[in-house]
Structure 1
Amino acid sequence: MSDQDNNFTLPPNVTCFSRSKNAQISERHLFLTRLRNRELPYQAFRKTADQLFDLIAEAMIPHLENHEVILTPIFRAGLSLLPVFMSKIENSRLCSIGVKRNEDTAQPEPYLFKVPPEIAADAKFVILEPMIATAGTMCYSLGMLKKQGYDLNNIEIISIFCALEAVDKLQNEFPQVHIHTEVVDPILDEHKYIVPGCGDFGDRYFGT
């Protein structure tokens, strides 16, 4: 299945870069095809991912201008996006959220939450998470931010691969949060992994 074949309707709070019409669309699809290749060595996977991250960061800059930016990677895989975004947005700060998925229950398990002190009232939280499968971890993280009193209207999610089930869940539970993703894949398998996806993004990016 090609990315162009995913013609299902997306929720209104989702921007899918692979569906956009611009001069970089063929380059984006090339990068996605490489990332989906399970035989690609981690060095080539990382290089390709970084090239795609660069395009995404450039596309996001207009949305973030004139705001304090709090980059919020979801550990571990979200750390892959951090260097590119920090280099593009020099005055950004870091919010650390550590939530892992229990592989037996597919439920989120938190282990870290640290927000910078004294942030601006209109600061933009930019959550970095390359894969969103069930959205359990993402919903948990958003709930943590909401509980601390942060305005969910000022939260943007950056991803590469999202499952349709995940974007539907986020639309239902957090409709004010906007998702910017490279592609939305149609289904999850019996192990709750994205199909076709790219495998475990963190393992493939970090070579683990």
Structure 2
Amino acid sequence: MNMKIFVDTDADVRLTRRIRRDTIDKGRDIKTVLDQYSKFVKPAFEDFILPTKKYADIIIPRGGDNDVAIDLIVQHIRTKLGQHDLCKIHPNLYVIQTTYQIRGMHTIIRDAATATHDFIFYADRLIRLVVEHGLGHLPFQEKQVITPTGSVYTGVEFSKRLCGISVIRSGESMENALRACCKGIKIGKILIHREGDNGQQLIYHNLPKDIANRHVLLLDPILGTGNSAVQAISLLLKKGVQEANIIFLNLISAPQGVHVVSKRFPRLKIVTSEIEFGLNDDFRVIPGMGEFGDRYFGTDDYQSSTPLFCDDKNRVR
């Protein structure tokens, strides 16, 4: 059992309730109720119920009148359902262990008033943590090296057959962190139409020719409905990538998207930094952080202070 609760109520309250119930609802007289209570109910409670108190994780005094204790339990259960139990339901889901540092960075990038340069700085820090965590799920081989002292150190080396695939355009924000962790890594692109058809239209892709022989880190900072992810993963499988060789990296994940992707691809790994509450009626992640690509690349109307223009080669600046 995940949580064992003992609701402790005063003996006088228990007896009063029993007398009220048995006399009013069952039509018994007081003498019969007290006789049954003293001969059967009270001894049974002391022999079978009270001893279980020592095994309880939580003891609630004053029973249902203890609003503070009940509220704490409710909040705890909501947290478990929102994150940890998802990992039990889907063993291929990995959520980075939260710290005050991580919560603090999430607070900054989720704030609508955060300036673009601050959003980029803290988003990059979180992305780096997700990438590092994702790399930890790659296959490793034992390797021995000679240290400068002439000693032998037994360590590991990770798979070198690796590539990154970013879902244009917000996924491109994760490329720098991946390059910083994996020198010279190949990175491909997938463009999926996200509006009007719930992300079900594949527009463009440019993938390494030998992608079927590589482990793939799929990059997309937001997992919402899961429709775009399903399209991207389906394309990778079509190109010969093994499902177990795909690691999907994102910053935040809605439970609905986790269910969709995990159910469809149970051997794929999902690595994220936080699980969201869910989706609203417009299929937006709640509480979310807005349009990630616009905020990261400074193309949102309410934060971009630098005008966009095209150079002589029609490249957007």
Tell me the TM-score normalized by structure 1. Answer: 0.89
Which residue number in structure 2 is paired with residue 174 of structure 1?
A: 265
Structure 1 moving runs of 4+ over 4 Å: none
Q: How far apart, CA to CA, are the structure 1 residues paired with 2:244 and 2:134?
A: 16
Spell out the pairing of 1:43-122 with structure 2 (5 A cutoff): 43-64=117-138, 65-102=158-195, 104-119=196-211, 121=213
Please provide the CA RMSD for this pair: 1.9
For structure 2, the residue ranges without an aligned partner over 5 or more in a row are 1-74, 139-157, 300-317
Task: Note if contact 2:172-2:219 (Cα within 8 Å) is conserved in structure 1.
Answer: yes
* Bigger Rg over Cα: 2
Residue 278 (structure 2) pairs with residue 187 (structure 1): yes
Say if 1:153 and 1:147 are closer, same or farther in 2 by CA, change over 3 A.
same
Task: Output the CA distance in 2 between the equivalents of 1:58 and 1:153.
Answer: 18
Deviation at 1:112, TM superposition (A): 1.3
How far apart are residue 57 of structure 1 and its match?
2.5
- Structure 1 position 43, deviation (Å): 1.4
Does residue 13 (structure 1) correspond to residue 87 (structure 2)? The answer is no
Correspondence for 1:147: 238
1:161/1:119 CA distance change after superposition, 3 Å: closer
1:90 maps to amino acid: K
In the alignment, is the contact (CA less than 8 A) between 2:212 and 2:239 conserved in 1?
A: no
2:216 aligned with 1:137, yes or no?
no
Partner of 2:148: none
Relative contact order: is structure 1 or structure 2 higher (C-alpha 8 Å, sep ≥ 6)?
1
Query: How do 1:33-52 residues align onto structure 2 when only pairs under 5 Å count?
Result: 33-52=107-126
41 and 178 in structure 1: CA distance in 2 versus 1, 3 angstrom threshold? same
- State the TM-score, normalized to the length of structure 2: 0.59
1:197 is displaced (CA, Å) by 0.8
Question: What is the SS of the residue equivalent to 2:210?
Answer: coil
Q: 1:171 to 1:41 in 2, by over 3 A?
A: same
Select between 85-94 and 156-165 the one with higher mean Cα deviation: 85-94
- Conserved? CA contact 2:212–2:240, under 8 Å: no
Q: How many residues of Structure 1 are paired with residues of Structure 2 in the alignment? A: 199
> Percent of aligned positions with the same letter in both sequences?
24
Aligned partners of 2:79 and 2:94: how far apart in 1?
14
CA shift digits 1:69-128 (9 cap, x unpaired): 1101100000000011112101411121111301x342332221122123473x210000
TM-superposed CA distance for 1:55, in Å, is: 2.0
2:88 matched to 1:30?
A: no
Describe the shift of the 1:168–1:156 C-alpha distance in structure 2 as closer, same or farther (beyond 3 A).
same
Which structure 1 segments of 5+ residues have no match?
none
